[in-house]
Structure 1
Amino acid sequence: MSLRYNTSAEIKEAWEVVSATYRTGKTRPFPFRREQLRQLYKLINENQDAFNVAMDKDLKRNKHDTYVYEILTSLNDIADQVANIEKWGETEVIASGTFGGERVEIQYEPLGVALDIVPWNYPVFLAISTFAGIIGAGNCCILKPSELSPYTSQLFADLFPKYLDQSCYRVINGAVPETTQLLEYPFNQITYTGSTPVGKIIQSAAAKHLTPVLLELGGKSPVYVAPDADIKITALRIAVTKFFNNGQTCVTPDYILVHKKVAAAFIAELKAVVEKNYGPDPKKSADYGRVISKNHHRRIMKLLERDAAAELTFVTGGPKTADEEDRYIPPTVVTGFRTDKDYALMEGELFAPVLPVIEIGSQEEAHKFINDRPHPLAAYVFSTSAAVIAKFQKETHSGSMAANDCHITVTAPDAPFGGVGPSGMGAYHHKYGFDQFSHKKTVVIKKTSRDPLDGIRTPPGDYERTKRLVELLILKKPPSEGYLAFKKVFSRVFRPALITLAAAILYKRFGSGDVVKDITVLGATLKSLL
């Protein structure tokens, strides 16, 4: 397919229109934001068949997987924004009647005009998860889909004018030149999901205008398989998450560190799961996709070729059955790695259906191996021991972490998703996306009557008097460890006990005596209020 790229004049016109619209305040009222979000919901929901066709052509993604991982997640993200943005955007009063009579508030304001640069591997979900937050926070936006997923990108370009206000939201399609032109404009927020090298280019371009960036960049997400892990469930969950979408997921397991005690059993089970899931010929499986392009295929094959002399073992797959024309690489599990040697497959994020398995001798060795490398977007541990999981959680550093499963940190309900260090900066989803695309403006409102602050700052200064006044009313002192310990115990034990006691006293005074009846009435009252 030949994706229609926007012209330079069209890009300039889009920037000028959305910038002018933002200055009118059109996107600020919550009813307008909610209406546009509902339209975005309709855009996805009413065109599911078209998105199924587009993603089958772009990624050989079947209908089931497109619905679960693209459509469902997108619709839920939009609905979440509609339900909550007004609550999230309420002005917070953080101090009232304090020294000087101030009223201190935090007011949530839109950042302005956002540029949302979307990747090709989840071209709907990763577009909507950020774009919905941008709309919810009251911004205008230019959405830049990936040219590597042309069918989905063209579909967005065709549908946006039919559903969304074109004075506020535009789609721009193109490749490097078009993106470069977009980056020349002084956006108020840039969001990019993709590789670390390109993320550095985006950040450098944004720095020219001091534009804040949200970068979700991936990395080599490790998995540690402890000796007490449930081998069957571990192999199953690693296999289905690794080879889904052909390994082209930012938080997919990039390599496995398996304890030597269970390595043989784990590798055998992993092989059995791959063969069961995709059959004797994965190329014919309706559940097995393709890499995004021939260039991507060639990149992966070169990595395998560079390690050809390293005495590695292909437990499954390998380069022999790969097909560049079909963009096919079989699900490949590779063993035989040594921790004291360098390998092409261990240099950077693979983003491919290739899984290195490395045997290690202890959890400490696994932690050192992980921490000696750039911080990944996600890290995983498989163990039945709470102590092993807690140690992994405490001693490794990553954007997110999960125990006994993979991928799930992306869709964890009401939780932020983002990287750390070279795997990204910033976070989104739920309220965290709203916050990311909002400016928290501090507002201080004072009375006009004279207050002690006027006396302190009006010349001539009286040091002794000011010092006494400040120490009495303003100066803070660090609390002791004993006080902090008491405060922690009070909040965890005594406060709940006091609340329970107070509730019991009130119930005894005002309750009817029929507990079931009172709970029913209370429930009905709360339901009517909500």
Structure 2
Amino acid sequence: MSSQGVYQPSLDTNSAFGELRTILNSMKSAHIKTGPADIALRQDRLQRAIRLLKENHKALAQAMSADFGHRSPYQTLVADIVTTIRMLQHAAEHVATWAEPETIAVDNGIQARIQPQALGVVGIISPWNFPINLSFGPLAGVFAAGNTAMLKPSELTPQTSELMAELVGRYFEPMELAVVLGDSDIAQQFSALPFDHLVFTGSTTVGKHVMRAAAENLVPVTLELGGKSPVVVAADANIRTVAERTLTIKTFNAGQICLSPDYMLIPQGQEDALTDAAQQFIRQSFATMQDNPDYTAIISDRHYQRLIDLLDDARAKGARIISLAPTEEVAYDEVRRKIAPHLILDVTDDMLIMQEEIFGPLLPVRTYQAADEPIDYINQHPRPLAAYYFGEDTAQQEKFANSTTSGALVINDVMTHASIEDLPFGGVGASGIGAYHGIHGFRRFSHAKPIVEQSKDGISNLRLRAPYADKQAQLEAFLNQ
């Protein structure tokens, strides 16, 4: 590891793991030696992270755009810079209150409290789609709880990851925050380290491998995964509102979001109305797409081709493909790696697009007839990271909320919950384990340590001492009441 806390991997995998473990052991020793980080140090770490983002936001935005081929600078500022700063600020403002012990009422003169205690060193494996937000966002809770961290950013955004590592070295000491650069083999080695907690954001498939590796050391994990988040459109929903709010998120970052709507369930006969509303909305939002700085490219050639293959598979199996590209503009371009939003109608479950998480601007649409069909359909599939319900009937809203399980539920909008700091953010089942953001992140990365002080007469201890005859009689009297 360099003096700046940046680790460049060894070419030999075994050597790399040994070096990583040495770094982690050094950080654990430093955490124990220096003792618990006081509130001032925690706030200082959070403020340094804020300064890093504010003072370098232009360079970070340029690096992200270069990694994507093109990324909307506005989207970077909104999702990766400003939103993350607000997460860090929220933690800095509230950490003193969060860290206060909770007094527990106990009889017999015993004093008891729950004291939040830092776990130690937390590992963070962050993805490519929001490389800053999903690296520094977890740090809000990690630092607030008094921990230090090792961060492994994605190799799919190399310029951003390298710049992030350089900047971390300027703003943090090596024993506070270390950055590990490297490919998927290094990420695999990273996930096998004996951290005090491990955070992974990525696909469900990789999440299984991460959890399996962490289990070897009994490392607790927070897995923010994904899956297929549905949009359910009730019969009384305003179809124009549905199209506008759904496509707002489906076009943000070109749909490369774990919370992006992955399919829509709509009453039979509403397909044409949805198509008309979608076409009108896209025309208003994007006069062009291929040369439009507001529209983001797909991250890589491989991911671009995977999305095209999903379209081709759906078309071959009978789906109707509706490109929402502006008039006289191509639906997709492999050089720019830009894909216009598409509606995929008449989909069936044998199509790959209904089996895989899409992570792109493609929206499959299924129709239903009976009102309860969407609930049944969702419950027959793995639990999603979020569900989105459009409809005005409050009784139906409540029924949907009570009858389906998802990481979060948003009514009459999409993805709104992710920007509300006091809400927990996370999945359930196949879409993840654990949640963070705000106080929930502080609690996730703390140990709720019970501290009990016995009374001077030690009365609760006396009931356990022999002889038991009189005490047993008292217990039997209690049981016979």
- TM (norm. structure 1) is 0.84
The answer as to 2:84 corresponding to 1:68 is no
1:300 corresponding residue in structure 2: 307
- 1:287 maps to a residue whose letter is D
Please report how far the alpha carbon of residue 194 of structure 1 lies from its aligned counterpart in structure 2 after TM superposition. Answer: 0.5
The aligned runs of 1:20-31 (5 Å cut-off) are 20-26=29-35, 28-31=37-40
1:43 corresponding residue in structure 2: 52
The answer as to 2:219 corresponding to 1:216 is no
The answer as to 2:105 corresponding to 1:95 is yes
- 1:19 maps to a residue whose letter is K
2:13 corresponding residue in structure 1: none
- 2:233 maps to a residue whose letter is V
| Selected match of 2:298 from 286, 291, 300 | 291
- 2:110 maps to a residue whose letter is E
| Selected match of 1:231 from 232, 235, 239 | 239
Distance 1:461 1:203, change over 3 A: farther
Please report how far the alpha carbon of residue 23 of structure 1 lies from its aligned counterpart in structure 2 after TM superposition. Answer: 1.4
CA distance in structure 2 between the partners assigned to 1:107 and 1:458 by the alignment: 33
The aligned runs of 1:303-452 (5 Å cut-off) are 303-316=310-323, 321-338=331-348, 341-451=349-459
CA distance in structure 2 between the partners assigned to 1:412 and 1:62 by the alignment: 23
CA distance in structure 2 between the partners assigned to 1:466 and 1:28 by the alignment: 48
SS at match of 1:254: strand
2:119 corresponding residue in structure 1: 111
1:479 corresponding residue in structure 2: none
Deviations 1:329-382, CA, capped at 9 Å, x for gaps? 2211111224xx521110121111111011111320111111111000000011
Does structure 1 retain, via aligned residues, the 8 Å contact 2:389–2:397? Answer: yes
The answer as to 2:189 corresponding to 1:161 is no
CA distance in structure 2 between the partners assigned to 1:217 and 1:406 by the alignment: 17
Please report how far the alpha carbon of residue 273 of structure 1 lies from its aligned counterpart in structure 2 after TM superposition. Answer: 1.4
CA distance in structure 2 between the partners assigned to 1:170 and 1:27 by the alignment: 19
CA distance in structure 2 between the partners assigned to 1:268 and 1:317 by the alignment: 10
Does structure 2 retain, via aligned residues, the 8 Å contact 1:27–1:33? Answer: no
- Percent identity over paired residues: 34
SS at match of 1:198: helix
Does structure 1 retain, via aligned residues, the 8 Å contact 2:223–2:433? Answer: yes
What is the root-mean-square deviation in Å for CA atoms of aligned residues? Answer: 2.2
Consecutive unaligned residues of structure 1, counting only runs of 5 or more, are 476-530
1:53 corresponding residue in structure 2: 62
Moved more, 375-384 or 456-465: 456-465
CA distance in structure 2 between the partners assigned to 1:447 and 1:380 by the alignment: 53
Deviations 1:204-243, CA, capped at 9 Å, x for gaps? 0010011000001011000011121122222111111112
Please report how far the alpha carbon of residue 463 of structure 1 lies from its aligned counterpart in structure 2 after TM superposition. Answer: 5.7
Deviations 1:409-468, CA, capped at 9 Å, x for gaps? 211231101100000010000000000000001111102314264144323444642315
Does structure 2 retain, via aligned residues, the 8 Å contact 1:334–1:356? Answer: yes
SS at match of 2:131: coil
Does structure 2 retain, via aligned residues, the 8 Å contact 1:219–1:250? Answer: yes
2:3 corresponding residue in structure 1: none
Consecutive unaligned residues of structure 2, counting only runs of 5 or more, are 1-5, 11-15
SS at match of 2:135: helix
- 1:80 maps to a residue whose letter is H
CA distance in structure 2 between the partners assigned to 1:178 and 1:354 by the alignment: 32
Task: Determine which structure has greater relative contact order: mean sequence separation of CA pairs < 8 Å that are 6+ residues apart, divided by chain length.
Answer: 2
Q: Which has the larger radius of gyration?
A: 1
SS at match of 1:442: strand
- Number of equivalences: 466
Distance 1:325 1:457, change over 3 A: farther
Please report how far the alpha carbon of residue 471 of structure 1 lies from its aligned counterpart in structure 2 after TM superposition. Answer: 5.8
Deviations 1:142-198, CA, capped at 9 Å, x for gaps? 011111111211111110111112222101111122122223321110000100000
The aligned runs of 1:463-502 (5 Å cut-off) are 464-467=472-475
CA distance in structure 1 between the partners assigned to 2:412 and 2:388 by the alignment: 7
CA distance in structure 2 between the partners assigned to 1:263 and 1:317 by the alignment: 14
Does structure 1 retain, via aligned residues, the 8 Å contact 2:74–2:294? Answer: no
The answer as to 2:151 corresponding to 1:148 is no
SS at match of 1:240: helix
Does structure 2 retain, via aligned residues, the 8 Å contact 1:36–1:165? Answer: no
Distance 1:226 1:448, change over 3 A: same
2:27 corresponding residue in structure 1: 18
Please report how far the alpha carbon of residue 49 of structure 1 lies from its aligned counterpart in structure 2 after TM superposition. Answer: 0.8
Does structure 2 retain, via aligned residues, the 8 Å contact 1:311–1:336? Answer: yes
2:283 corresponding residue in structure 1: 275
Distance 1:453 1:365, change over 3 A: same
Moved more, 206-215 or 458-467: 458-467
CA distance in structure 2 between the partners assigned to 1:464 and 1:31 by the alignment: 52
1:516 corresponding residue in structure 2: none
Distance 1:158 1:227, change over 3 A: same
SS at match of 1:384: coil
Please report how far the alpha carbon of residue 306 of structure 1 lies from its aligned counterpart in structure 2 after TM superposition. Answer: 2.4
Does structure 2 retain, via aligned residues, the 8 Å contact 1:271–1:315? Answer: no
